């Protein structure tokens, strides 16, 4: 058994939706989270920049002696997962387990994918889905405004600005007749109520943070790395910038107040 923490990182606070799932399914595990709030979003950056950021984020977690790294970032998972695969400890991305879940869930074999511009431009979900089942039809849509809307607190299902943006982005996927929609960014489950309302009740939403957390549990169990403690885990949270809306948005992502320690760091120098 292993008492070292699970390391989780994201470009901002959306990755806390994956932490929320970890807290649910692995309540005794220690968790160390880094949100790169000073450089969010990653999705509109170039590939080289995303890879550099991913290396810095992972290096920070590894220096804290984590036993596994979960990249709760669709952009990193799509563009820079090779960086994670090269780590000396287990690495979990959101892409591969999410694609598996979507392929299992779809009945009409038409799957939609929404994500940041970088995630969609990479074609990573399309490739993974077609590798799993070449008969699938995959429709993709970049939704670059969703992350800043979430980070700025425009998350209520009654929020007219978010609903208007969602209607615009999701119209092509509705026309494509998808019955399953991958939320390819961990920020997106926070506005899943709006997304579900626009897509309709017949469309199954696949939460990439939940699927990654379940994959983390399976991998740690198979590797004998789960903790044997039953006293509840310790949690530490690091960010690269503190914003006025941090605690409000973080609580929305976690479904609770932020537990544990919070510290601001300079990710460029640690």
Per residue, the 3-state secondary structure of the chain, as one string, reads CCCCCEEEEECCCCCHHHHHHHHHHCCCCCEEEEECCCCCCCCCCCHHHHHHHHHHHHHHHHHCCCCEEEECCHHHHHHCHHHHHCCCCCEEECHHHHHHHHHHHCCCCEEEEEECHHHHHHCHHHHHHHHHCCCCEEEEEECCCHHHHHHCCCCCCCCHHHHHHHHHHHHHHHHCCCCEEEECCCCHHHHHHHHHHHHCCCCEEEEHHHHHHHHHHHHHHHCCCCCCCCCCCCEEEEECCCCCCHHHHHHHHHCCCCCCEEEECCCCCC
Residues with a known catalytic role:
73, 185
């Amino acid at each position: 058994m292993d008492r070292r923490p699970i390391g989780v990182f994201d470009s901002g606070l959306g990755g806390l939706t994956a932490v929320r799932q970890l807290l649910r399914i692995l309540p005794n595990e220690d968790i160390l989270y880094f949100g790169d709030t000073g450089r969010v979003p990653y999705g509109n950056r170039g590939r080289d920049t995303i890879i550099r950021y991913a290396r810095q984020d992972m290096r920070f977690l590894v220096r804290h002696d984590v036993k596994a790294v979960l990249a709760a970032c669709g952009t990193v998972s799509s563009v820079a997962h090779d960086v994670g695969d090269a780590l000396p400890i287990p690495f979990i991305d959101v892409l591969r387990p999410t694609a598996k879940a979507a392929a299992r869930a779809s009945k009409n074999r038409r799957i939609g994918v929404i994500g940041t511009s970088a995630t969609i431009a990479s074609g990573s979900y399309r490739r993974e889905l077609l590798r799993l089942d070449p008969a699938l039809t995959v429709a993709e849509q970049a939704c670059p405004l969703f992350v800043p809307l979430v980070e700025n607190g425009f998350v209520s299902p009654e929020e007219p600005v978010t609903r208007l943006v969602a209607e615009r982005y999701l119209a092509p996927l509705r026309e494509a007749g998808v019955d399953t929609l991958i939320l390819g960014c961990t920020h997106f489950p926070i506005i899943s109520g709006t997304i579900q309302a626009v897509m309709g009740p017949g469309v199954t939403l696949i939460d990439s943070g939940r699927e990654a957390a379940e994959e983390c549990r399976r991998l740690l169990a198979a590797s004998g790395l789960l903790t044997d403690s039953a006293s509840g885990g310790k949690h530490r949270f690091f960010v690269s910038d503190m914003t006025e809306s941090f605690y409000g948005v973080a609580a929305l992502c976690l479904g609770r107040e932020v537990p544990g320690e919070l510290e601001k760091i300079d990710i460029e120098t640690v």
